Structure 1
Amino acid sequence: MAELCYNHKVPIIPFGTGTGLEGGVTAVQGGVCFNMTRMDKILNLNTDDFYVTVEPGVTRKSLNSYLRDSGLWFPVDPGADASLCGMAATSASGTNAVRYGTMRDNVINLEVVLSDGRILNTAGKDRNFRKTSAGYNLTSLFVGSEGTLGIITKTSLRLYGVPEAMMSAVCAFPSVQAAVDSTVQILQCGIPIARIEFLDDVMVDACNKYNGLSYHTLPTLFLEFHGTESGVREQVQQTEEITQLNGGSDFTWARDQEERSKLWTARHNAWYAALALRPGCRGYATDVCVPISKLPEIVMKTKKDLLESELTGPIAGHVGDGNFHCIMVLNVDDKDEVSRVKAFTDRLARRALALNGTCTGEHGIGLGKRSLLVEEIGEVGIATMKQIKATLDPQNIMNPGKVI
């Protein structure tokens, strides 16, 4: 089918689950949508070598359900139940990235259908080694390519042992600076924390109202620890000492599976909690990432900008990576508000770039951030990307109009 489209210069738009946030599956030039949802087989699970190969219709939740009795799991968790090949295509990330890395760190091999119908195995057919220095890193080239270079039809993923013990906690702080200082100190001490998420006071208030919770309406960290029973106790003790030195409150604990699920469901429901602040309005997600030390500065400037712009935009972020989101809640029928939101999001992205950060930590470029990508990597970087695109997709039929 890809070869047929290539011969007739018909655009191809790969579709996984449609959970992307940057318009990646929008057919801006028409064409054929390749819906991958029915290619949903788990092809090869190797528990000895800690990897699994899946088709593009397999989602992260269905994979972890399949792995339940194996003692293994796949930890990359972007919140949505996204398809794993789609997660590879967008270089997805999420709450566990501080411990386990992003998709770029966890994809071992890809099977890709190129624009002319040829099939490429980026690390060699059926090869699933842990490391290599053989030639160019073709796997990483396609991770994050957003469907612009080929159609990912299989991915081999790194798996991890299920931790013996898991424990989650919530801790409130008197300021954003105190919360981020705690985060930096936790990482500097080498504590192998699995998740460390930040919510500002507005987002905590929204989550309380939406989920029926009663957390302090203050800048708050959601934390999770993985390891052995004794290891987790040691991590917790060290982390508590650090948070208390920065004025943090006593931890609110979630020890068993049900309590932890409730806590993280509240975090993952942040989008819906934000929308509930203004019933009938729509949401628009932002996504920037800066060096961790710059996080207090950009968050405080962003909160000031929101107040001055009279906009609703509670903040949540993967603070261990310096990545955060303003969830903009707006009336799309109010042209003035739409204009102010657009201006705000542009300022936010450029604020991140000015602090040596990136305009997108995990959502991708898609449609909306192509001009920002030019500012981020420069003309030579864009020219190099265009050369790669022209080589692999000379007819420009692979998801045209995206990224570059």
Structure 2
Amino acid sequence: MQDHKLFNKEHHIFRRSLRKFLEKEALPYFEQWEEEKCIPRKFWKKMGEQGYLCPWVDEKYGGINADFGYSVIIGEELDKIGGGLGGIGLHNDVVMPYIDSYGTEEQKKRWFPPALTGDLISAVAMTEPGTGSDLQAVKTTAIRDGDSYILNGEKTFITNGIHSDLVIVVCKTDPQAEPAYKGVSLIVVEDGTSGFKKGKQLKKVGLHSNDTSELIFEDCRVPVTNLLGEEGNGFYYLMEKLQQERLVLAIATQASCERMLEITINYVKQREAFGRPIGKFQNTRFKLAEMATEIQIGRTFVNDLISKHMNGEHVVTEVSMAKWWITDLAKKVATECMQLHGGYGFMEEYEIARRFRDVQVGSIYAGTNEIMKQIIAKNMGL
């Protein structure tokens, strides 16, 4: 269902080689990774060797200056293997772009090369035990002390948390600031920093291979040179980058919807009941026709937004629409597809069972769907 207007010949060659790589290096091991609750570092390194980590990075740091179309292809192909590979997309297209946009030359030279080889895995720490959607209310503080910041606080639900070598921490450098968002800054904390601890790996309903954890900062001393951008501008940086984060999620979720439809069509053609394939029953056909229509609407919308985003257009409202609508659609598709699988849909050995679990969180992370509707309504002048 890809849009050929978005992609050129090089993009199609890239997709074919990536798909072949994933079929060899990820697909045979993915169930094992789900059971082990992590994506092994050696897989990250293989991705890096092939140029599949942050290909958009400038050549002078080891990238290939690839356009966003390459990120789209990587996101879609990873999701076709499984949603648990989403931590790679987060590293590629959510975390490292902060370094690109707000990092100093010295920071880029230090962090980009290992991020491209898979030697450095990144995370962004926004959410806290008591703070989710309301980012300006974060309690983690970073108080200046000479040429260091002293960080204190706790983060939770952090994707790539256990493996992370570099974490962009959303914190308050001025806890007294009025309004509160003017006190928010972004500080990069590296693994091994004194006072930085990784808490327990969290047990999740789905996305099992995607490691998610708590992060704890206790008098964690970070050099001032690890400040990202300017002090007090963190909230603006977050708002600026959320368009791409939510678009990346919509793209991966769209790919998931397409995959669920594909496996269900294959299943109903083979499964027989009352002497004929269940794909011949009117209810099955109507359900699949309805889903195919809505999934195609999603694809058309997502491709339009990819195109606008690549052109540098400000599409926050439309991205918020796509994020909530497609993540809600994925839940509906997962439920309908599981139903069409009958009892087998409830069995772990069938892919639809994993997909059903994995899509549930889409309406919660990267800003809840309720927040998306608030953004849309606000931008409508309400």
| TMscore range, shorter length | under 0.3
More helix by share: 2
TM-score by length of structure 2 reads 0.26
Relative contact order, CA 8 A, sep 6+: which one is greater? 1
More strand by share: 1
